[in-house]
Structures are given as structure tokens and as C-alpha cells.
Amino acid sequence: MTNTQPAPAPENSAQDLPTLKVAVLGAGTVGTEVLRLITEQGDDLAHRIGGRLEVIGVAVRDMARDRGPHVDPSLLTDDPSALVREADLVIELMGGIEPARSLILQAMEHGAAVVPANKALLAQDGATLYEAADRHGVDLSFEAAVAGAIPLVRPVRESLAGDRIDRVMGIVNGTTNYVLDAMARTGASFDDALATAQQLGYAEADPTADVEGHDAAAKAAILASLAFHSRVSLADVHCEGITSVSSQDIAAAERMGRTIKLLSIVERVPGQDGERISARVYPALISSEHPLASVSEAFNAVFIEADAAGSLMFYGQGAGGAPTASAVLGDVVSAARQRLRGGAGLRESHYAALEQIPLEQLRSAFYVSLRVQDRPGVLAEIAGTLSSHGISISTIHQQLIEEDEDGSASGQGSAHIGITTHRALESSMTAVLDVFSSTSTVLGVDSVLRIEGE
Ligand code: NAP
């Protein structure tokens, strides 16, 4: 029997496809991995896009440094401005505010689509970039700016565009998760756990942006803007880092069946004056049963609660050269396809323009650790102060009578008390802490942490 089916048409060679000129700004941790993927997967990418990516230049500061096998030295330039004027697509992986912002704006002015991984710039001045993208009709895609390899920007911006997102809560900074996880696993102090993270490459030599919560806050600003169709910048995000989390806090959390995680939380807050939004970052206690509690080492995980979709959880590597490059390339493929089709893809959506609710108007459950005089009536006094501010106690734990640093029992005697409260206004807790700071009963407030996810 003869085969009457026509033979399948031979696949077009990738070489026959149209070419897109790509400028890469930066050849550091992420840049070198992006260049590796473009080199190693060139033909596959070309078929997926319907066009070939031709890297026309790689901007760096130090032209002399060896960049490894995937960065062609002849493509290096220290004139990024000239480079972006020639490109159809600009991948911005240099970081920082300037000159990244000016170069992105210049690229858009010349009609290029831009793919930045720059969370700091997007969180600080995203509006300027969105407006320029709109004005010039070009794509601005930034999946890599939030949680590295984990698809989060696209699900929020596109997959859930037909739903109503109520809350996004997650661990979006791997460095701080590594440090808190190491403290819990080994009993190490914050300083020792941070030093280990630095030795293993999980923390930068200058860890400020991570441990002070700024990196997580930048991601919270980006997520809140996308989730709530409102402009939220870094300055709108309440931010507390993990530098004051102590081994005692970690041990107290464990005793309570909880664990401490640095959480980024963005949510809608309904109220009598209409709906407002909150974006905040702080270390919080969560139940050890909560799925976020088992997120270990430098991994990231994010929960999205949406009206119709319900709860969704995203988990994976939130940083690192290769995982971040994966997210960058995903954006590059879709921006390149769009470019070949003509026109741009998604625009910024900020029509809702929801206002921010000040932190002091939010309600949280708290854990408060106090050093108090060890004498009869102290617990009643503290409970009375809390109650007079509308805060009710959930649990109370009194620890051993403390000895002075020289080992002798102090004349007066002191004790540690750990209190958890039911949900109460932030402003009420602030007022209570003011009272505690002015009474002789309370010798010191060691820590105040919020309890989330219960
Ligand atoms: P990096 O290792 O410090 O690399 C930055 C690169 O940009 C270097 O090649 C540097 O050149 C170049 N550069 C910086 N300023 C420049 C300037 N003025 N002119 C020309 N070149 C300049 O940074 P990275 O870790 O790859 O991060 C890049 C971006 O990705 C940042 O926005 C970061 O927030 C974001 N990101 C990173 C990760 C991650 O895991 N690393 C994860 C998510 C997002 P030299 O090499 O000559 O100094």
C-alpha cells in the first residue's frame, strides 16, 4: 500500500527567520546566564519566537574583566547609550536607579521593548517607565524583578486579570529566609547565621538591602501595583527588617509551635470609608503548620488569595543567576514575538487608584516579650494596661527568674514574660508600648512581633 499523505514540509531553518537586535546591559550574575541561554538555546528560541535574537552588544563598566565562555569579548562596550539606540530589545541587568532609568527611557524613545530585572527602579519609579512604555507603544516586562524564577508577575498581571486578588503574602527574599531558617535549625545568633549566609554566597558583602527588608519591600510595591491596579511605590510600603530578631525570639516561636519568617504582605482592607490597600514587610510569627513555615534555606514562596480562584501557592528559587535568567528569557521571548507581530502587549493598569491605609489603622495579633519586675501583681498590672487599650491577651508565658550577668540573683529580681494577643489595632499596641516604656514595672520591651496567617 502506498502512502498518499504529502510529506511534512521541512522545518524552516532558524537562519531564515528575521533578526531582532538585542542589547544586554550588564554581564554580572544574571547577565552572563542570560547570554549563556541565548547562545546555547539560540535555535530553539528562534523557532519559539519566529525570529532570531542577535546580541549586538553587552554593556559593562570594566572592559578588561574576563566574563567566561558565554560572553563574546568583542561585544563588550562601555557606551550603553550608543548601544540602546541600535536595539530592538533591551535587557537591563545592571541594577540601580541611574544610569539604568535613563538608558531604559532612551531605549523606549528609540522604539525598543525593554526587559528589566531591576526591582529597585521599578519600585521607586515604575510610573515613569510605564508612562514612557505607553507613550512609545513598546513592551515593558519584568518577571525577573519579583521572586526570580517563580512565575508571579505574569500570573498576577495576566492569568488572574479576570479575577479579583484580595491578598498576596509570601517570602520573597531568599537571603533573609536563609538567615532565619539557619537561626531556627542551629540556634545560631543573627550575626553568625548572616556570616554563614555570606560565606555560602546567599548574602552580599553589604547585606543591608536584604536584612533591612528593602528588597522585599520593593517586590511588595511591584506586586501591590499589579494586584490592585493602583500605583504603589517603595515609599508606600511599611518596612521592618530582621536585624532585631534574636535567638530568644526564635526559641519562643518554637515553644509556641510557630516560626518566624520575613513576610511581604499586600492586601485589600475593606472599611466604612471604602476599600483601601496595605503593603508591608516585617518579620512575623506563623504557625509551624502553615505551608510558608516549611519554606527553608533561600527558597521563596508566595500565596495569592483571589475571589474566584481561591488560594494559589507559588514556590521556587527566588534568586540566582540561572533561575533569574529563566524569567528574563521568558519575557524576552514574549516581547520579541510581540515585536515581530507589531505593536506592544500589556499596558500598565492603575485605574483603581486605591488609597493606602496607614499601618496604625490595621489590626494584627501580636507577640510581645517583656522584661519585668518579679513581684506580685505585675501580671495583673500588665494585663490591665493591655485591656484598657482594648487589647485582649490570648496566652501568657512567664520564663525563669533571670540572674544578673555576673550570675548572682539580682536584689529586686526580674522575669521575662511572653504575651500573645488577639487581633488589635496597631495604634493601640503603640500606645501600650509607650505606657510600658514609662512604667517601672516593665524593665524593657525585648521584642514585638506580629502573628500572621491564623
Ligand atoms: P551584578 O552581578 O552586580 O551585575 C551588574 C552588571 O551591570 C555588571 O556586569 C556591571 O558591570 C554592569 N553595570 C553596572 N553599572 C553599570 C554602568 N553604569 N554601566 C555599564 N555597566 C554597568 O548584578 P546582578 O546580580 O546580575 O543583578 C542585575 C539585576 O538583576 C539587578 O537589578 C538585580 O536587582 C536583578 N536581580 C538579580 C537577581 C540575582 O539573583 N542576582 C535576582 C533577581 C533580580 P561590571 O561587571 O563591569 O561591574
Architecture of domain 160-317: 2-Layer Sandwich (3.30)
* Strand ranges inside 242-356, DSSP E: 258-269, 276-287, 299-306, 310-317
The residue ranges of every structural domain in the chain are 14-148+323-341, 160-317, 359-451
Contacts of 426 (CB under 8 A, 6+ apart): 359, 360, 361, 362, 363, 364
Task: Confirm or reject: Cβ of 99 under 6 Å from ligand 1.
Answer: yes
Which residue, chain included where needed, has cell 508606600? 236
Strands 76-77 and 52-59: parallel
The CATH number of 14-148+323-341 is: 3.40.50.720
Any ligand 1 atom below 6 A from CB of 29 = yes
Q: What is the CA radius of gyration of the chain?
A: 26
Ligand 1 pocket, mutate which of 24, 25, 29 (most atoms under 8 A from CB): 29
Does the Cβ of 42 fall within 6 Å of ligand 1? Answer: no
- Calculate the CA 245 to chain-centre distance: 19
Ligand 1 centre distance from Cα of residue 106 (Å): 19
Helix ranges, 137-246 (H): 153-154, 174-186, 190-199, 208-211, 214-228
Is 324 near ligand 1, meaning CB less than 6 Å away?
yes
Q: Is the CB of 95 under 6 A from ligand 1?
A: yes
Ligand 1 atom 23 nearest Cα? 28
Nearest CA residue ID for atom 2, ligand 1: 28
pLDDT in tens, the chain (454 residues): 444 455 444 456 888 899 999 999 999 999 999 999 999 999 999 999 999 999 999 999 999 999 999 999 999 999 999 999 999 999 999 999 999 999 999 999 999 999 999 999 999 999 999 999 999 999 999 999 999 999 999 999 999 999 999 999 999 999 999 999 999 999 999 999 999 999 999 999 999 999 999 999 999 999 999 999 999 999 999 999 999 999 999 999 999 999 999 999 999 999 988 999 999 999 999 999 999 999 999 999 999 999 999 999 999 999 999 999 999 999 999 999 999 998 788 889 999 999 999 999 999 999 999 999 988 999 999 999 999 999 999 999 987 554 555 444 445 688 999 999 999 999 999 999 999 999 999 999 999 999 999 8
Pocket test for ligand 1, best of 24, 32, 34, 60 (most atoms within 8 A of CB): 60
Supply the residue whose CA is at minimum distance from atom 24 of ligand 1: 29
Catalytic pick from 21, 119, 219, 261?
219
For ligand 1, atom 17, the nearest C-alpha belongs to: 61
Task: Please state the separation of Cα 448 from the chain's center in Å.
Answer: 23
Which of 35, 36, 58, 61 for a ligand 1 pocket mutation test, highest count of atoms within 8 Å of Cβ?
A: 61
- Closest ligand 1 atom number to CA of residue 121: 32
How far, in Å, is the centroid of ligand 1 from the Cα of 438?
Answer: 48
Q: CA 100 to CA 106: how far, in whole Å? A: 10
Query: Grid coordinates 563588550 are at which residue?
Result: 76
pLDDT at 11: 57
Q: φ, ψ for residue 6 (rounded to 5)? A: -65, 145
- 439: its cell numbers: 512604667
Reduce the DSSP state of residue 357 to 3 states and report it. coil
Strand-pair category, 19-25 with 52-59: parallel
- Residue 307 CA to ligand 1 centre (angstroms): 38
Please tell me the predicted confidence (pLDDT) of residue 401: 54
In the chain, the amino acid numbered 21 is K
* CA 125 – CA 102 distance, rounded (Å): 12
User: How far, in Å, from the CA of 197 to the mean position of ligand 1?
Assistant: 20
Alpha carbon of 122 to ligand 1 centroid (Å): 15
| Closest ligand 1 atom to Cα of 327 | 43
In short, whether 80's Cβ falls inside 6 Å of ligand 1 is: yes
**Residue 266: which region, alpha, beta or left (left: phi > 0; alpha: psi -120 to 50)?**
beta
Kindly list the distances between the CA atom of residue 308 and the CA atoms of 98, 133, 139, 389, in Å, as whole numbers in the listed order. 41, 31, 29, 38
Q: pTM of the predicted model, to two decimals?
A: 0.94
| Ligand 1 atom at minimum distance from 145 CA | 44
C-alpha of residue 150 to centroid of ligand 1, in Å:
19
What phi and psi, each to the nearest 5 degrees, are found at residue 453? Answer: 75, 20
Residue linked to cell 519562643: 252
Is 261 catalytic? The answer is: no
7 vs 432: CA distance, rounded Å: 81
**Residue whose CA is at the smallest distance from ligand 1 atom 6:** 26
Query: Residue 142 and residue 302: Cα distance in Å, rounded?
Result: 17
Q: Using CA atoms, how far apart are residues 262 and 301, in angstroms rounded to an integer?
A: 11
Phi first, then psi: what are they for 96, rounded to 5°? 75, 170
Residue nearest atom 22 of ligand 1, based on CA coordinates: 60
Residue in 241, 310, 307 with CA at minimum distance from that of residue 275: 307
CATH fold for domain 359-451 = Alpha-Beta Plaits (3.30.70)
Q: Spell out the residues 6+ positions from residue 8 whose beta carbon is closer than 8 angstroms to its own.
A: none
Q: Judge whether 314 and 152 are in contact, CB under 8 Å.
A: yes
CA gap 377, 379 in Å, rounded: 6
Find where cell 547585606 sits: 207
Amino acid at 54: E
